[in-house]
Amino acid sequence: MEHALFYPTRDEDEALAYHARQPHGKTATVLTKPLVSPRDLALAYTPGVAAPCRAIARSADNAYHYTNRGNLVAVITNGSAVLGLGNLGPLPAKPVMEGKCMLLKHYADIDAFDLEIDEQEEDRLVEVVRALSPGFGAILLEDIKAPLCFAVERCLREMLSIPVLHDDQHGTAVVVVAAVMNAAKLIGKPLENMRTVVCGAGAAAIASAELLLRVGIRRDRLVMVDSLGVITTHRPLLPDYKRRFATSRRLTTLAEALVDVDLVVGASKGDLMDAQMVRTMAERPIVLALSNPVPELRAEMAATARPDLIYASGRSDQKNQVNNALVMPYLFRAALDCEAALFNEEMLLAAAHALAALAEEQPPQSLRERYPQESLRFGVDYLLPKLDDPRLITRVAPAVAAAAERTGVARRSIGDRADYMERLKGRITHKESEE
């Protein structure tokens, strides 16, 4: 069969060459036990393998001791919302899922296996994931469109006794909350006084709005805007997940909603905001423009229109990157280590507070040398730590594990916190020491 022709740009060509290097893709399987002698074979396979099978049959908890379940995450998608590319289907989503597996391994020493499921119907998708779940210690849902993602995650959380997280929702929400808390601290505005606009009503937008309410943003000061305009109580046939954020104010357009607003969280599409809209916002406004690759407000436009504006985006080539990879690996590291039954809101908030606090600490010399053109000092251009900050695992994971224990969802204690931090340091693949 002939392959369809594809003519990449220069950047795309480089990305294709990266993925095509031998071996193809970004992940592989490695052996963790020796298999060099007849005795090794007898222990690893028949007859020796029967012993752990019987042990697990007696108690499912033994799977954490005799198999890789306690360090294995299933990264699952149906490809219905791949990046900003839309419903490409399961196979085109595989490079993204491999990328998530790569992040889990590199940043948190977690083994992960990607599963691309050819199913768009809610009940069938839930049943497939449920049926595949026994061999895994946790499940990471990715690139599933809204509102399907809400229903799938809710059903799986109710069915399974292992943690389930939809990263586009909750991973994004944690990092958004951390960035907002730090930006609000810099401008001296209490969260409860801030007027907020959320651009978008998909997975990331809804979850971010929900978590922002938990840290102080007031519902009566929050306006959500979707592709049809401001979501209001006057609009008929609103789905439940949008109705929760409907305002009674007589607003129609994004431009109207932005007048005198302190905070904008964009999780929608590029170029929604122009310079004139930005000029109508309140003094010292905050804009998190997270659409990729084109943000809702471009950085150069933000700088020109409002020099007093604090700006962040989802792009890795700009300062203040708000990226869910800042927390996702460490949420799973903590959940696996304490054998959590689920992710709860307290664990997410613990991650947000730990991430925000880390930005105020001086980074290690090795990290400063990697970014010689940036000060990496807490301020308007450094709201959050860098993705490759080696301290993330030792700050975020212990905070999340402690929250799991405190709220009763942990089935195993991580023990002494200092000892746990030392164990975490030994796990990270880049092996950089803290100062």
- Indicate which residue of 26, 100, 242, 386 is catalytic: 100
Closest CA to 230 of 198, 262, 203, 194: 198
Distance in angstroms (rounded) separating the CA atoms of residues 257 and 87: 30
39: Cα separation from own chain's centroid:
44
Token pair of 93, please?
A: 């989503």
Q: Give the residues across from 82 on adjacent strands.
A: 86
Token pair of 188, please?
A: 């001296």
Q: Are 242 and 203 in contact (CB under 8 A)?
A: no
Token pair of 201, please?
A: 């009503």
Residue 431 annotated in active site: no
Distance in angstroms (rounded) separating the CA atoms of residues 203 and 241: 10
Residue 100 annotated in active site: yes
Q: Are 314 and 295 in contact (CB under 8 A)?
A: yes
Closest CA to 341 of 392, 393, 407, 394: 407
Distance in angstroms (rounded) separating the CA atoms of residues 322 and 172: 8
Amino acid sitting at position 281: M
Contacts of 205 (CB under 8 A, 6+ apart): 198, 199, 224, 265, 267, 268
- Indicate which residue of 7, 26, 33, 45 is catalytic: 45
| Residues with a known catalytic role | 45, 100
